Each structure stands twice: as structure tokens, then as C-alpha cells.
Amino acid sequence: MNKILVANRGEIAIRVMRTAKKLGIKTVAVFSAADRDAPHVRFADQAVCIGNPPSSESYLCMEKIIDAAKQTGADAIHPGYGFLSENAVFSEMVEKNGLIFIGPKPKAIRMMGSKLAAKEAVKKYNIPMVPGTDTAVDNIEEAREIATKIGFPILIKASAGGGGKGMRIVEKASDFVSQMERAVSEAKASFGDGSVFIEKYVSSPRHIEVQVLADSHGNVVHLFERECSVQRRHQKVLEEAPSAILTPDLRKQMGEAAVQVAKSCDYLGAGTVEFLMDDQRNFYFLEMNTRLQVEHPVTEWITGLDLVALQIDIAEGKALPFKQDDITLNGHALELRVYAEDPLENFMPSIGVLERYKLPTGENIRVDNGFEEGMEVPIYYDPMLSKLVTYGKTRREAITKMIEAIDQYEVKGVQTTLPFGKFVCEHPAFVSGNFDTHFVKKYFQPEMLLAEQERRAQMAAQLALKAFLDDKQILRVHQS
């Protein structure tokens, strides 16, 4: 591989290019008219404008991106996350044009993109799944009987959904038929596929996912888990590795299950297998994400591996340079997603110019960032500014480092989720490790950030008063 085109923007485009550079591979950025001055464009060796600001006219335009690759002589495309990263048609088109897609084959993307096909594939292996139907529900009356047998509450999920999209909780049998009808028409409208299935609703689960790597020689390994339970409306807030509640034995079991899932779809490259864990620490396979995930840095830190470098090696046909037993877990890493959103205004995107933007630095702090001072946060894309990642020998140390890093991070001009991140890191439930996916809903009220603001204002006022009184004292001393 001599030249990689990165079909993405922001922090992940820079993240991928950083490793490419380290490996001596040239880089090509693509950008929309809104990203003309973006850091990812300047970071690349070459850059090609691919259209208007809306992603449907730029970062989602398959032909334009492939043309850009041909025009610049790139031999591979890395899709990052989001945009075209889990689009089987795109990966196929990349290959048909004689380019390497740095990711899994279209078959695996397609299979895991359909939650029912995924269930079907993993059924042949011994992987725990939530009780429910494993085919699309076509007879509503029959489905109601199954739901009653499973016991309410149950969840209706769209096969083409995922990541929380197209899910519906049904509390009691009498709501079942109407909810089912709604779920089907909603799934048709959103995904063009009305297939839905039902599952027992696990009421207070943790969301734990396992990183896997598969090469083209049949080697599949896992890189342990990430705990992603701290989320708000299916948007992850803070992730960590390892999970505070896994025992070495459970870690091994979940890791092995994840490897089986990868094998069930002939996986290639880096992927993530999502599990739910109930309050008895039973785990269940949920879905597989066939991309490099936002939160991959925490796994990199505890394993000492560069996931992008491994993705590139695998795409070139190299064998994994290690076996499962060679991979070790060291220390603890946390990642906070820093968004230009206002936590006091229901996390509305906060638009404006970054009048001041200074990143924290120091040992055990990594910032994967896509912005700089003076830039405007574009309204067209996800408003994530950066990922703030910290490390410690212990979980406590990583948390303390995160609070320190949040305090060091300076942003003026837009509101950010930094104060919200600090709230999470200081919360006793988070610190204890005893929390689930309802953490934010259960414990967070915006007023809590106001109290912190008030405390800071009080402190500032007292410092000012002290300075004033000290000055007056000095003046008196001089006068006499």
C-alpha cells in the first residue's frame, strides 16, 4: 500500500492519517466545501474537494470518492466510522474499481447489518442470546403469544435498525398489537424494510462490547472489552477499558463468544461485538459493528496496539503478528466524547466560532481532535470536537487524570459537554463502578451543573475580594 484515501473528516480522518504517515504511506483527504480549511485537509499529503456541505452531496457520495482515489493514484480507501463505513455497496464498489477497502468484505457488512441475519449466523455457535424470536414476525397474533410466554416487558426491534434505532418497549399484552403495527410501519418508513423481531426486555443492562481482529489467514483474536454503559439517548458519553465489573473468567468467556461471532460471518479486519449484561452478569449477544469504532483508543491504550496499523496490515493480506495469549491487558483507560452541545439546553448543538481552543497536554492524556482555535463548528455534521482519553495504572488514577484534563481543556465561543463529563467522573455511582445504561437518566439534572458554576463564581468572587483587601493593606503599609 502506497497511498490511502481517507473517506471521512474530523478527528478520525486525522487519526487514520497519523498511522499511515508513521508507516510511510501517503495520504489523501477528501473534503466538502464547508471543510475547506479543516485540519484534516491540511494534515493530508493531498486533498480533493468532493462537493457541497451536506454529507449527501459529499462524504456520502460513493462515485465522487472513488473518482478522487483514482485521480490521486490512491490504492486503498479507509472509511473511518459513520458515513460509508458500514455500506456494503460502497465496499463492493471500491473493490470493483481495483482499490483495497480497509475493512471487512461486503458479505460480512451485509450480514451484520441485518440483525436477523446476524442472529441466524451466530445461532450455529454456542453464543448466548436474549430470549425472543429469531425470525421476522409475520403473524401478529402468534407473536403476541410468544411475547406472553417470554413475559412482558418485551422489546420490538427492527431488523434493519441497530444502535437503538427502530426499538420499541411494550409493557403489557394489551399494548402489543398496536405497538407492533407502529413498529412495522416505522421500520418500513425508516429503513425500507418492515422486518421486526421481539426480545425479552433486559431492564437495567450494561452495554459491554468486545474488540475483535481477524486476518485473511483464519486467525481471529479479541482485544478485551469496552464498557459503554454511560450513554444518553443511545449516544455514548464516556467509555472505558476494561469494564469495572468483569472477572478474568467472564472476560475470557465474552472474548471467546466475540471471536465466534466474527468467525460466523468470515470477518476481516477490526470489528466490535456488542453484548448486553444483566444484573446477574449474564451476557447476551446484541449486534456486531463492522467498522473501527469511535472509542477504539481505550483499547489501544490497555493493549499497547495500534488498531489502524493492524487494519492496514490485514488489508494488505498480512497475518496477525500475535496469538491470543500474547495479548495482555495493562492499566485502565477512559474516553470522554467532547461535543459542541449545551448540557444546560438539553444537549442542543451549540453553534459558533471556537474563540479559544486549547487542548490539555501531559503524560497519560491523549486527545484525538479535529478542531482548532478560530474555526467555526459546522452545522452539517456530528458536533463532536474531540475525544479526550486518559490512562492510569488503576481505574481511580484514570478518573483523576480525566478530571485534571477536563479542567485543563479551554473552550470559549461554544458550549461543550466538558462540564457534563466532569459530573460523570465525580459521581459516586460512576466512581464505584456500580451503574448501568440508565446512569444519565437516573442521576443527571442540568441544575447540577449550575451548582458547580455557582461554586466557581463564589470562589472567583472570594479570590477577587482577597486580592483587593491585600492590595489595600499594601497601600496602607506604603502610606505610613
Count CB atoms within 10 A of the CB of residue 212.
Answer: 23
Q: Does 437 bind ligand MV4 (CB under 6 A)?
A: yes
- Least Å from the CB of residue 201 to ligand MV4: 5
Nearer to ligand MV4, 90 or 435 (CB): 435
From residue 402, give the alpha-carbon distance in Å to each of 246, 284, 362, 454: 22, 31, 11, 22
Q: Which stretch binds ligand MV4 (CB under 6 A): 77-85, 155-163, 364-372, 408-416?
A: 155-163
Q: Does 286 bind ligand MV4 (CB under 6 A)?
A: yes
- Select from 364, 213, 187, 367 the least CA-distant residue to 293: 213
Supply the DSSP symbol for 163.
Answer: T
Q: Which of 9, 144, 251, 291 is catalytic?
A: 291
Q: Which stretch binds ligand MV4 (CB under 6 A): 40-48, 139-147, 201-209, 456-464?
A: 201-209
Q: Which stretch binds ligand MV4 (CB under 6 A): 25-33, 156-164, 345-353, 450-458?
A: 156-164
- Select from 70, 74, 69, 79 the least CA-distant residue to 15: 79
Q: Does 130 bind ligand MV4 (CB under 6 A)?
A: yes
Task: Establish whether 291 is a catalytic residue.
Answer: yes
Closest residue to ligand MV4: CB criterion: 207
Count CB atoms within 10 A of the CB of residue 339.
Answer: 25
In this chain, which of 155, 196, 259, 292 binds ligand MV4, going by CB under 6 A? 155
In this chain, which of 86, 209, 287, 313 binds ligand MV4, going by CB under 6 A? 287
Q: Does 277 bind ligand MV4 (CB under 6 A)?
A: no
Contacts of 256 (CB under 8 A, 6+ apart): 222
- Select from 221, 213, 157 the least CA-distant residue to 184: 157
Q: Does 201 bind ligand MV4 (CB under 6 A)?
A: yes
Binding residues for ligand MV4, rule CB under 6 A, total: 18
CA gap 245, 350 in Å, rounded: 35
CA gap 295, 227 in Å, rounded: 10
Nearer to ligand MV4, 205 or 255 (CB): 205
List residues bridging with 221 in a β-sheet: 213
Supply the DSSP symbol for 175.
Answer: G
- Owner of C-alpha cell 427502530: 166
Q: Does 274 bind ligand MV4 (CB under 6 A)?
A: yes
Nearer to ligand MV4, 8 or 437 (CB): 437
- Select from 104, 105, 123, 109 the least CA-distant residue to 285: 123
Cell numbers representing residue 45 in the block: 499529503
In this chain, which of 80, 205, 255, 421 binds ligand MV4, going by CB under 6 A? 205
**Binding residues vs ligand MV4 (CB under 6 A):** 130, 155, 162-164, 199-202, 205, 207, 231, 234, 274, 276, 286-287, 437
> Which of the residues are catalytic?
291
